[in-house]
Chains A and B, each alone.
Chain A
Amino acid sequence: MSILKQKIQELRDRRKEAALGGGEKAIEKQHAAGKLTARERINTLLDEDSFFEYDLFVEHEAREFGMLGKVMHGDGVVVGTGSIEGHPVAIFAQDFTVTGGSLGLVHAKKICKIMDYALNMRIPLIGINDSGGARIQEGVNALAGYGEIFFRNTMASGVIPQLSVILGPCAGGAVYSPALTDYVFVVDGVSKMFITGPEVIKSVLGEEITQEDLGGARVHSEITGNAHFFAKGEDECFEQIRKLLSFLPWNNSQKAERFTPKAPSKKFDIEKIVPEDPTKPYDVRDVIRALVDDSDFFEIQEKWAANIVIGYGRMNGRTVGFVANQPMVLAGVLDCDSSDKAARFIRYCDAFNIPIVTFEDLPGYLPGVDQEHAGVIRHGAKVLYAYSEATVPRITVILRKAYGGGYIAMNSRHLQADFVYAWPLAEIAVMGPEGAANIIFRKEIAESANPDETRKQKVEEYKSKFANPYVAAGKGYVDAIIEPEQTRLYLLHALDITYDKVATRPGKKHGIPPF
């Protein structure tokens, strides 16, 4: 055998051994827990045979607590580049089979290296988290590692899409990298995220709770809002990642890829979705489906703060971000959580050149001591801030109610929307006719011989004067009153003519949004 052949054989053997990570037994254990290994995950997610791994032979430098000479292949993390639907991506996946995917200095350095690469090359970064946490034997070096990652997450924020996939435990300081990224994917029964785990809670409080109930996939999808996409299994999760990326540009200097335009399905009859009575509920997602290409609407944070709907669809083949009040849930009110949800999405769309279409049908802000004390003023202000700040095309369609502060917040003309359309059913007013009549005509109603009859008359009077889109259209606050059937036509045109929109903002280091 020639020397080269021998060397090649040696390389192959070394690669093979290192690629086993924590060894066959640990891989079996990972599989028994219903989880794929780090490399299996990467290969399933990326295009076939597209993955190139780096730093396979990196070794840790820890000496204390029996670490000297301990072999830990790849130091518990697999990093590299590959492609999704032919587009390049950078990826890291923590390898739980190697000492529980614990994070030490070298492990963090590998992640930072691929993060730097992703940012410099302006390609999306995908992080697969499956780690027991900081490698305690490495002490402050492990903490240093997390800090280096958080800094890079922040630098890359708004420049390249950053996706975090939680496929195992992600606890303590480790949770802050996903929290700093754009989208967090969780899988039922697999993902576990918390700052302090059940053991600590038990020792401090005596409260017993399972990892699942404390920070499982459902908790983060429905209660905390920390997760954006929930899947039943890892395969479904990878499908969601590929689909999400299809809607996004590869970095903030590009626009999302254009697909072949398709008509919406005929299944959705836009005239029949919204009930005429403004107190009756309906699913606003059907309005979106009636308008987007192929009726394909990709919803984000479906189960959390469901009184507002956010997500992506395409119109004329191009990505559009949708924000819509959901009358089906809490009458579509704005509250603390729905404001947070919408505001962050609006800022995402703005950072990545995605036009925003807003569908409005809301009674206002949610009343209640709990809301006021939870800071609905501060949270609600985020929506105003996010819309006002956004320079991407912004189009609003008022479907039905637009009352009070909610009217202003939902991308009104006053926040410099590019186009505001209203359906003929729209009511644009400070509040609903009932509330308004009770205030304006309080005296007449109280002094009337028949207060109920007087109230009814006054409500009707207010309704006929203000509960329509013509007052706002008369002031130019609404650009056009349109028939429901014409909505797609108007939106396609508005998106076309705003495609190269240029809007400038005063020069500043950054604004101070009401975080």
Chain B
Amino acid sequence: MSNSKDCEKNMQSLVIDDKTYETLYTKKFCNRKPWIAPDEQEVKTFIPGTVVTLNVSECSIVKQGDVLMTYEAMKMNNLVKAPHGGKVQNLSVKDGDKLAKGVVMLKIVP
């Protein structure tokens, strides 16, 4: 699989039930992302928005349900809570950051 423009233009092979077909790919098929197993320690943005107030810093110890930050999205101030207890690591956001959906903001290592 290649993401270049040639991906759509040239004949490719597609294996279905052990049979290899010669065929063109669609743009969507060329652009598909490989699946990665979710990391339970990661806290990700669930909607595009802005970090308003960050309540933790690197190495903070939190317990389940602690408010990690206030996160503004769609005109609402959402409270992002710790999904489980542990130590905050890889903190990669600060107050005022505008974030897309699915961005890893920090990890909580039990």
Contact = CB atoms under 8 A, between A and B. Distances in A.
Q: Say if A and B assemble together.
A: yes
Interface of A: 204-207, 222-223, 278-281, 305-307, 327-333, 337, 363-364, 366-370, 373, 403-404, 431-432, 434-436, 438
Given A364-B17, A369-B35, A331 B23 contact: yes
Contact of B19 (A222, A330, A370, A432): A432
Interface size class of B (residues with CB under 8 A): 20 to 34
Contacts of A278: 19
Given A204-B49, A281-B11, A330 B18 contact: no
Contacts, number: 77
A370 B32 contact: yes
B100 A306 contact: no
Contact of B29 (A330, A363, A369): A330
Nearest to A438: B18
Interface in B14-65: 14, 16-29, 32-33, 35, 48-49
A90 B48 CA distance: 42
Contact of A279 (B19, B28, B100): B19
A327 B23 contact: yes
B16 A432 contact: yes
26 contacts: A204-B49, A205-B48, A205-B98, A222-B27, A279-B20, A279-B22, A281-B21, A281-B22, A306-B26, A327-B21, A329-B23, A329-B24, A330-B24, A363-B16, A363-B17, A370-B32, A370-B33, A370-B35, A373-B35, A403-B17, A404-B17, A431-B17, A432-B16, A432-B18, A434-B17, A435-B18
Contacts of B25: 329-330
B65 to A, nearest CB: 28
Q: B19, B20, B100 — which one has the most chain A CB atoms within 10 A of its CB?
A: B19
B48 A328 contact: no
A434 B27 contact: no
Given A204-B98, A279-B22, A366-B16, 15 more contacts: A204-B48, A278-B19, A279-B21, A281-B11, A327-B23, A329-B26, A330-B23, A330-B24, A333-B16, A363-B19, A370-B33, A373-B35, A431-B17, A434-B18, A435-B19
A416 B101 CA distance: 45
A280 B100 contact: no
A206 B59 CA distance: 29
Contacts of B14: 330-331, 333
A239 B27 CA distance: 28
Nearest to B29: A330
Contacts of A373: 35
A305 B27 CA distance: 10
Contacts of A364: 16-17
A281 B98 CA distance: 47
Contacts of B11: 281
Contacts of A432: 16-19
A451 to B, nearest CB: 14
A207 to B, nearest CB: 7
